[in-house]
Structure 1
Amino acid sequence: MDETVKPLRIPPEMSVYADKHHVSHLVQSLVSSLVMEQPDDPICFLISLLQRTSLDIPRVMLLGPAAVTRGTVAQRLSSELRAVHVTAETLLQDQSELSQHTEQGLGDELLVKLVQQRLKEIDCFNRGWVLDGIPQTRLQALTLQQLGVVPEHVVILVGGQQQQQHRELEGLSSAFQHVLKIISSDQPDADVYQQVLAFVRSRCYSRTPRILLLGPPGSGKSHQARLLSEKFKMVDVCCAQLLRSVAADASSLGEEIHPYLDTGRPVPDSLVLQVLEERLSRVDCSLRGWILHGFPGDLQQAKTLLESPHQPNRVFFLELSDDVCLERISQRATDPASGQSFSAVTRATLSSEVQTRLKTRPEDRPQSVTQRLNQYRIHVAALQSVFPDSVHVDANQDPHSVFETLESKLNSE
């Protein structure tokens, strides 16, 4: 790395403060209102918003086929929240125009235009709104979001007889995955309504993800971190790869680390923490979030991480037996050029050039793996005590199932 070009860093305390005081939620509310209203004097407009007693006005989308009592739930919800109940029918006040469009359906452009106009009106602005059956497609959802119509809560009601709606509902789900709850309508109406109400009364504050992924060697931490990074655009921070990258630099810190890696000795915690502090403070980690694996490995490292400005806000333990870990690692090979490890399954997809240079690392030999597993088992109880709110995931499944479990836990928190 050229030391004359310093990566942009953001003080980590800013991310912690923003999460604690829901700054992202506040900014999202202000920007959404600003885009929707487009006032002549945006500064005065924002000041007036901040002077309100509360910015937590309802912004709810209730979606799903009409046959699942959606309208009834939406009416009760609007009454309970004292919010404006908005449907495609109420958007068209002229009866002749209504009859013309109810036969053919509202086009995307017309529906989006009418929604935007309606939500700008003073009653929706002051009391909030419940959009009943709107949007109907992913395209409408994305267009509304671009225009500043950003919901706080999205509920999709699904019924057993609605298989033909599966594709449309999948598209809507992906557009709102971070504020979404899917509720089955195949239960008493009162139960459906209570579940919807409970969810809408919860706050869905957005947080910059700072994820810690722990587990024994061979549990799939690197693979799952890569999948999560690709899906959620967070930075994949593998401690071992990071140390190798820094050691390859001509920096003074790299020169200190290099001898430890050459001889296979553990890098002192003080040096590891310096490397992590520098990497996690960069602007990509501060803005997009990060997923860290390969650290901490014991009680003292975990406590040091919690005392640092880079506290994780989600912690996952991948659970796997020692026998399965040994079996997986015995089939693993590493590409010296990239430092990336590949299982027997993923190896088959590699080019012949990469396959010819794959090697088994000394630390992946059975005796070394057994020692690492023993070390993990010695410290795992202490690590779990430091992170009492951690989520435990069965890693003895195919990688896709593990990823789906991690994804669902992230979206539900």
Structure 2
Amino acid sequence: MKVKLMMEDGVLPLRVPPQMSIYADQHNVIHLVQSMVSSLAVDQPQDPIAYLLLLLQDSSVHVPRVVLMGPPAVGKTTLAGRLCADLGAVHVTMETLLEDPSPLGEEARHHALKQQEVPDDLLVDLIQGRLKQSDCFNTGWVLDGLPQTRLQARSLQQGGVIPKHVVLLDAGEDVLLERHRGRLLDPLTGDVYHEAFVRPCDEAVARRAEKRPDAREGALTADLQRYRCKVTGLSSAYRHILKTVDADQPPDDVYQQAVAFLRTRRCSRTPRVLLLGPPGSGKRLQAKMLADKYKMVDVCCSDLLGWAEADPSSVGEEVRTYVQHNRTVPKNVTLKVFQERLDRPDCSQRGWILHHLPCDLQHAKNLMDSLNAPNRVFFLELMDDVCLQRTMMKHSLADPSVHTAPYDAARECDDNTRTVTNALGVYRTHTAGLQCAFPDGVHVDADQDPQRVFEALDKQLTIQTYTH
């Protein structure tokens, strides 16, 4: 964690001790600060100190702030309207923004009348201006189909518009085309219905509802293509607070899934992930994939001694002394190296994913008693015969035998088999102790395609990021 100390000559970064990060995680400090700063930036009160004191005592910290995304005809407006009615939030759409009587609204209407896209900076200013108004601040808001691009999302975040939840509705193109064909519009209220999917409950509404005059499939197909080009970048801007909901199901089911998600609260925790498992279970690969996605530091304990040997610190000097004399580095020195690496600023700020350590119950206890205790632990489960098969295959691919005599190749294979078998035996000996040290560890079946293992781990990480 890092804060900034203001100096006359500029800004000086001040490193916060690791124990502060632990405290912030335990008491949800980061989430509280984010909520308050976001509200402060949006409302911009005359007396910010008094405002923040009131905010701490008020329930407005918990008002809904929702972004609802999805392709055209997926049902965003219907869901947003229902959510706003139940939550008491303000429904913000492009249409309502264009009703803004200010010069910004007039400029946006000018673009709309010419069938031009509203420029990013203008749209961002419109959204920020709308969310500053007291109704949005006091009761919350649902942005329906806004923002539309990753750039807009980033600009809103920089301006203090930070949603608590983002719901992405998704459905296949054939489903969207079918819904588009059966769309009905209530000319009196502007509400949208569907001939078969969402029929009006009121008979008077059903009689006056009519098909939209602009229901052109070609236009919808073009809109879908534009959406597909933008959705990946847009989703990435909100990836840590986003839930995708399959919209190809009854509206009540879609609504219930969205509401269940909105009832969760995001905890901004620095990820400290521990991967445990036997040789061949894929710890290194899964760690790399997760680190790439969440920008964590990939800490492989089998590589730590090489890192320490090249490090100018006192611990590095200690390691070099053993390596230069071809002596095995003692366990206590290895643990020093491990703690030194996790104390570095990149690990403290971005979080880390650790594998190939701890090796036994004592190592695990030392880790849990330190300032670097993990907050997510996974056991990759794999049978011994599969571990042996995978590891031997890795050996043969990574270092194919150069020997021509059959007995040389056989002896090399036997040596590798014994090495792997011994490593498996050591792991199995300490498995019960490790499971005792980490009783809340999640067990994941590693005997499947690596992508499926990654998805299982990723799902659990997402689940643990939210609490009710």
Asked if TM exceeds 0.5, the reply is: yes
How far has the Cα of 1:73 moved from its partner?
Answer: 1.6
SS in 1 for 2:298: strand
Note the 1:14-413 alignment, pairs <5 A: 14-38=20-44, 42-93=48-99, 101=112, 103-160=115-172, 161-162=175-176, 164=225, 165-247=227-309, 253-254=315-316, 257=319, 265=328, 267-268=330-331, 270-332=332-394, 344=397, 365-413=416-464
Whether the 8 Å CA contact 1:177–1:411 is kept in 2: the answer is no
Distance 1:278 1:114 in 2: 48
SS in 1 for 2:462: helix
TM-score (norm. length: structure 1): 0.81
How far has the Cα of 1:266 moved from its partner?
Answer: 7.0
The one-letter code of the counterpart of 2:261 is: F
The one-letter code of the counterpart of 2:33 is: V
Distance 2:281 2:339 in 1: 26
Determine the structure 2 residue equivalent to 1:5.
none
The one-letter code of the counterpart of 2:425 is: N
How far has the Cα of 1:271 moved from its partner?
Answer: 3.1
The one-letter code of the counterpart of 2:298 is: D
Distance 1:145 1:189 in 2: 30
Distance 2:305 2:371 in 1: 20
Deviates more, 1:50-59 or 1:242-251: 242-251
How far has the Cα of 1:276 moved from its partner?
Answer: 2.5
Whether the 8 Å CA contact 2:60–2:138 is kept in 1: the answer is no
Deviates more, 1:48-57 or 1:132-141: 48-57
How far has the Cα of 1:229 moved from its partner?
Answer: 2.5
SS in 1 for 2:266: coil
Deviates more, 1:145-154 or 1:27-36: 27-36
SS in 2 for 1:68: coil
Whether the 8 Å CA contact 2:364–2:434 is kept in 1: the answer is yes
Q: CA, structure 1 residues 36+327, in 2 after alignment: closer, same or farther (shift >3 Å)?
A: same
Distance 1:249 1:90 in 2: 59
Q: CA, structure 1 residues 143+232, in 2 after alignment: closer, same or farther (shift >3 Å)?
A: same
Whether the 8 Å CA contact 2:309–2:317 is kept in 1: the answer is yes
The one-letter code of the counterpart of 2:382 is: L
Distance 1:392 1:151 in 2: 32
Number of aligned residues: 382
The one-letter code of the counterpart of 2:254 is: V
Q: CA, structure 1 residues 411+167, in 2 after alignment: closer, same or farther (shift >3 Å)?
A: farther
SS in 1 for 2:73: helix
RMSD of Structure 2 on Structure 1 (CA): 3.2
Whether the 8 Å CA contact 2:246–2:254 is kept in 1: the answer is yes
SS in 1 for 2:124: helix
Whether the 8 Å CA contact 1:89–1:98 is kept in 2: the answer is no
Distance 1:320 1:250 in 2: 39
Distance 1:320 1:396 in 2: 6
Q: CA, structure 1 residues 369+124, in 2 after alignment: closer, same or farther (shift >3 Å)?
A: same
Q: CA, structure 1 residues 302+140, in 2 after alignment: closer, same or farther (shift >3 Å)?
A: same
SS in 2 for 1:344: helix
Distance 1:98 1:254 in 2: 65
Whether the 8 Å CA contact 1:63–1:133 is kept in 2: the answer is yes
Deviates more, 1:392-401 or 1:123-132: 392-401
Q: CA, structure 1 residues 272+105, in 2 after alignment: closer, same or farther (shift >3 Å)?
A: same
Distance 1:137 1:197 in 2: 25
Q: Which runs of 5+ in 1 are unaligned?
A: 1-7, 334-342, 349-360
Q: CA, structure 1 residues 54+116, in 2 after alignment: closer, same or farther (shift >3 Å)?
A: closer
Determine the structure 2 residue equivalent to 1:11.
17
Whether the 8 Å CA contact 1:9–1:281 is kept in 2: the answer is no
Distance 1:332 1:9 in 2: 42
Distance 1:168 1:375 in 2: 50
SS in 2 for 1:389: coil
Distance 1:196 1:246 in 2: 48
The one-letter code of the counterpart of 1:157 is: L
Overall identity of the aligned pairs, in %: 56
Whether the 8 Å CA contact 2:380–2:445 is kept in 1: the answer is yes
How far has the Cα of 1:45 moved from its partner?
Answer: 4.4
CA displacement, residues 233-267 of structure 1 (integer Å, 9 cap, x when unaligned): 22222223223433555765456556776767573
Q: CA, structure 1 residues 19+215, in 2 after alignment: closer, same or farther (shift >3 Å)?
A: same
Q: CA, structure 1 residues 11+100, in 2 after alignment: closer, same or farther (shift >3 Å)?
A: closer
Whether the 8 Å CA contact 1:10–1:282 is kept in 2: the answer is no
Whether the 8 Å CA contact 1:10–1:283 is kept in 2: the answer is no
Distance 1:56 1:267 in 2: 51
TM-score (norm. length: structure 2): 0.72
Distance 2:268 2:232 in 1: 22
How far has the Cα of 1:313 moved from its partner?
Answer: 0.9
Distance 2:150 2:330 in 1: 49
CA displacement, residues 6-54 of structure 1 (integer Å, 9 cap, x when unaligned): xx97432211111111111112112223333455655454444334345
Find the structure with the greater CA-based Rg. 2
Distance 1:284 1:248 in 2: 18
Distance 1:123 1:344 in 2: 64
Distance 1:305 1:399 in 2: 28
CA displacement, residues 313-370 of structure 1 (integer Å, 9 cap, x when unaligned): 111222333334334433547xxxxxxxxx837x99xxxxxxxxxxxx99x9332221
Distance 1:23 1:377 in 2: 39
Whether the 8 Å CA contact 2:60–2:139 is kept in 1: the answer is no
Q: CA, structure 1 residues 366+114, in 2 after alignment: closer, same or farther (shift >3 Å)?
A: same
The one-letter code of the counterpart of 2:22 is: V
SS in 2 for 1:71: helix
Distance 2:314 2:134 in 1: 61
